[in-house]
């Protein structure tokens, strides 16, 4: 799984939880130690000093405090505390000793508190329980992590099976809830059953696609082949009239258009371009062939091939032929007179015409099925209104961006970009 998997998120959450608990607990103990030292002990020393002064006034010779942790001095004072100002002081030599200097009627009382014993008690009654509390927290967090991991394990297993799903050969049995182990939650079971139904339906789609492409290729092309062969035989008849020959040319062009259209539909019906031979295709040759085929559509339109270089792409030749062929035939269909030019430049091909053009609104909808160009209210032109839709779908599949510029009454220019295409310089005298 990726770097943002459930296990990773769960582990990070556990570590953050443990870290925050540890930080809060340690800060609490340190705060308690500070309160104990800086508040309680100091208050106790102040109270001890007040008690001594009050007793000294009423009881002559009242002894100085002398306990295990507290020692009082008056008169003879150790040199390390002699000369200290009134108030509290931490001895520089030992930060564990706190000194209170109290003065009454010209006399000074030095109370020295030894905090080493307190620190030992704080360690015994503070840090040891703290360690036990943290150990219990860590153990409970770890057990919670184990329980959570067992709960999400079926989801992760299901995600891996989805990741390994082969769209060409989906296996519904891979999503059988029984294969996810025992104790699976109801929500995971519902998800697994839904994925199993999806895989079954996807498998049915793959089978239908296979049968469709195979049957359509045979059943649709066979009658067209018969018509084309009969047209070729009829064209050899010397007794055919001029009107009949014109009608025959229209039939042959329609057959060729239908073959191109069926080929494009079958290509788009495939989920991938597998099954089509991929080779290095010379776009110049394809453009020249498509221009030659379409040139007979109108005697008043001139076909021009402007080559600035030779352009090669590694792809099935059928794909390039369908795209450029559709655009070239569209250009001839929407041009009454003038010229259709195919310009081949590095990394792109531009098909332009001097035809009727399109408005900006028509350009925005030009990739929609059955939308045709031309002036509003004009005669219907072109083929079936799906040529540019096919071009757009092929461009999306093969990452060849298509852009269109058009103006009513001026013409249309369509640019196909071929990123990464191999460019070869033309031989001298071969341009155009």
Domains assigned to the chain: 6-144 (no CATH), 168-271 (1.10.287), 276-424 (3.30.565.10)
Taking the C-alpha atoms of residue 432 and residue 424, their distance in angstroms, rounded to an integer, is: 15
Q: Report, as an integer, the average pLDDT of 254-267.
A: 74
What are the tokens at 140? 């409970």
* 58 — pLDDT class (breaks 50, 70, 90): confident
β-partners of residue 342 are: 305, 351
DSSP secondary structure code for residue 75 in this structure: S
Token match 């002990």: residue?
Answer: 41
* 312 — pLDDT class (breaks 50, 70, 90): very high
Position 383 pLDDT exceeds 60:
no
Position 409 pLDDT exceeds 80:
yes
* 94 — pLDDT class (breaks 50, 70, 90): low
CA-based nearest residue to 336, from 324, 359, 354: 354
Position 35 pLDDT exceeds 80:
no
Cα 190–196–197 angle (5° rounding)?
A: 90
DSSP secondary structure code for residue 88 in this structure: E
* Range among 91-100, 109-118, 347-356 rated most confident: 347-356
Q: Report, as an integer, the average pLDDT of 139-152.
A: 79
Residues of the chain with pLDDT > 70: what percent?
82
Least confident of 161-175, 208-222, 259-273, 381-395: 259-273
Position 181 pLDDT exceeds 50:
yes
Taking the C-alpha atoms of residue 371 and residue 363, their distance in angstroms, rounded to an integer, is: 10
- The per-residue pLDDT for range 195-251, each reduced to its tens digit, is 888 888 888 887 877 777 777 666 777 788 888 888 888 888 888 888 888 888 888
275 sits in the region (left: phi over 0; alpha: psi -120 to 50; else beta) called left
- The per-residue pLDDT for range 321-346, each reduced to its tens digit, is 888 988 998 899 889 889 999 999 99
* Range among 12-16, 97-101, 376-380 rated most confident: 97-101
Q: Provide the edge-to-edge strand list for the sheet that holds 87-90.
A: 70-73, 107-114, 97-104, 87-90
Half-sphere exposure of 112 (CA within 13 A, CB side): 20
CA-based nearest residue to 372, from 385, 360, 357: 385
Which residues make Cβ contacts (< 8 Å) with residue 259, sequence separation at least 6?
221, 224, 228
The pLDDT assigned to 158 comes to 81
Cα-Cα end-to-end distance for the chain: 55
β-partners of residue 339 are: 302
Position 102 pLDDT exceeds 80:
yes
The pLDDT assigned to 306 comes to 93
Position 119 pLDDT exceeds 70:
no
The pLDDT assigned to 165 comes to 82
The pLDDT assigned to 33 comes to 65
3-state DSSP percent of the chain in helix, strand and coil, to 5: 55, 15, 30
* Range among 177-186, 271-280, 328-337 rated most confident: 328-337
The pLDDT assigned to 374 comes to 53
Helix (H) / strand (E) element for 57: namely helix 42-58
CA-based nearest residue to 32, from 130, 99, 114: 130
Position 285 pLDDT exceeds 90:
yes
The pLDDT assigned to 377 comes to 47
Q: Report, as an integer, the average pLDDT of 303-319.
A: 90
Position 34 pLDDT exceeds 90:
no
Position 385 pLDDT exceeds 60:
no
* 131 — pLDDT class (breaks 50, 70, 90): confident
At 343 the three-state DSSP class reads strand
The pLDDT assigned to 401 comes to 93
Position 431 pLDDT exceeds 60:
no
* 131-135-138-143 Cα dihedral, nearest 10 degrees: -170
Task: Report the relative pairing of strands 310-316 and 338-345 from DSSP bridges.
Answer: unpaired
DSSP secondary structure code for residue 309 in this structure: S
């Amino acid at each position: 799984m990726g770097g943002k998997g459930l296990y990773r998120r769960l582990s990070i959450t556990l570590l953050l939880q443990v870290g925050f608990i540890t930080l809060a607990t340690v800060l609490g103990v340190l705060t308690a130690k500070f309160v104990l030292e800086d508040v309680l002990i100091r208050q106790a020393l102040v109270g001890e000093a007040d008690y001594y002064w009050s007793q000294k006034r009423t009881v002559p010779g009242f002894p100085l405090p002398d306990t295990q942790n507290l020692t009082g001095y008056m008169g003879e004072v150790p040199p390390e505390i002699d000369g200290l100002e009134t108030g509290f002081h931490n001895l520089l030599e030992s930060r564990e000793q706190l000194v209170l200097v109290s003065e009454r009627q010209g006399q000074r009382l030095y109370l020295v508190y030894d905090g080493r014993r307190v620190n030992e008690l704080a360690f015994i009654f503070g840090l040891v329980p703290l360690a036990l509390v943290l150990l219990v927290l860590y153990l409970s967090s770890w057990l919670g992590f184990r329980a959570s991991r067992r709960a999400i394990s079926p989801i992760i297993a299901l995600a891996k099976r989805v990741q390994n799903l082969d769209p060409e050969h989906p296996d519904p049995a891979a999503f059988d809830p029984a294969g996810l182990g025992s104790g699976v939650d109801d929500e995971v079971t519902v998800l697994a059953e839904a994925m199993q139904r999806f895989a079954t339906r996807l498998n049915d789609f793959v089978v239908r696609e296979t049968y469709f492409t195979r049957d359509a290729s045979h059943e649709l092309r066979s009658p067209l082949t018969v018509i084309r062969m009969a047209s070729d035989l009829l064209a050899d008849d010397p007794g055919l009239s001029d009107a009949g020959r014109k009608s025959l040319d229209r039939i042959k062009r329609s057959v060729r258009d239908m073959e191109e259209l069926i080929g494009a539909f079958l290509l788009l019906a495939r989920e991938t371009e597998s099954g089509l031979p991929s080779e290095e295709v010379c776009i110049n040759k394809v453009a020249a062939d498509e221009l030659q085929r379409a040139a007979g559509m109108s005697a008043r339109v001139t076909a021009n091939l402007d080559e600035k270089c030779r352009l090669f792409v590694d792809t099935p030749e059928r794909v390039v032929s369908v795209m450029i062929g559709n655009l070239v035939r569209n250009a001839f269909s929407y041009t009454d007179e003038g010229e259709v030019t195919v310009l081949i430049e590095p990394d792109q091909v531009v098909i332009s015409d001097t035809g009727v053009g399109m408005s900006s609104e028509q350009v925005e909808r030009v990739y929609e099925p059955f939308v045709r160009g031309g002036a509003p209210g004009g005669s219907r032109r072109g083929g079936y209104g799906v040529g540019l839709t096919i071009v757009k779908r092929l461009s999306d599949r093969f990452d060849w961006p298509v852009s269109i510029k058009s103006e009513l009454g001026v013409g249309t220019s369509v640019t196909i970009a071929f990123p990464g295409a191999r460019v070869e310089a033309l031989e001298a005298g071969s341009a155009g």
